[in-house]
Amino acid sequence: MGRWEPGARSRLRDAALALYLERGFEQTMVADIAERAGVTARTFFRHFADKREVLFDGSSELEEKSVAALEAAPATASALDAVAAALDAVAGVIGADREFARTRQTVIMVNADLRERELIKFASMSAALADRLRRRGIGDTEASLATETGTAVFRVAYERWLNATEERDLREVIRETLAQLRTLTAAG
């Protein structure tokens, strides 16, 4: 540890979220965030690769969790079921605090740069999961298809969960949405 107040990273995270919410992402300068956190702008970039990344802190750990959950799924499970297990793990983390998720989403949805970043996080997770499916012997196309579809289901369910009037379990919403997908594809 250094000589200064510890927890610079979390202070930066909080400051950024607050400022993005108060005045918008583009209107917030890195210098502002740093100032509120009591550090310099240079320090901000030592903790976060860029101005957006501060809103996605911990997403790599989340990806690891999802991969672990997929690998923990029984070998007999179908590709889609394995993916479902992975999504369940993610939902367990994200679904724990809906209020935080909502404010975070409020910030993200009004800015194209942030939406882009959110999308690539999902894509990255999808690619990681597909990779594990292939190691399980699942074919190339089937693996991609299962994870891409799975993350699509997650996104739709997530939005539904965020906007729901009553407090619900995200994992349950995901299961419902997946069931809905099955009817949708079966109907054709």
153 neighbors 174 (Cβ within 8 angstroms) = yes
Residue 51: name its binding partner from DNA, a copy of itself, none (Cβ under 5 to 8 Å by kind): DNA
Of residues 1 through 60, those in contact with DNA by CB under 7 A are: 1-4, 8-9, 28-31, 38-43, 45-47, 49-52
64 is an interface residue for DNA by CB under 7 A:
no
Residue 160: name its binding partner from DNA, a copy of itself, none (Cβ under 5 to 8 Å by kind): a copy of itself
Least distance (Å) between residue 177 CB and a copy of itself = 7
Binding part of the chain for a copy of itself, among 26-34, 58-66, 78-86, 102-110 by CB under 8 A, reads 78-86
Please give the residue ranges that form the binding site for DNA (CB under 7 A): 1-4, 8-9, 28-31, 38-43, 45-47, 49-52
Please give the residue ranges that form the binding site for a copy of itself (CB under 8 A): 78-81, 112, 115-117, 119-120, 123, 140-142, 144-146, 148-149, 151-153, 155-156, 159-160, 177, 180-182, 184-188
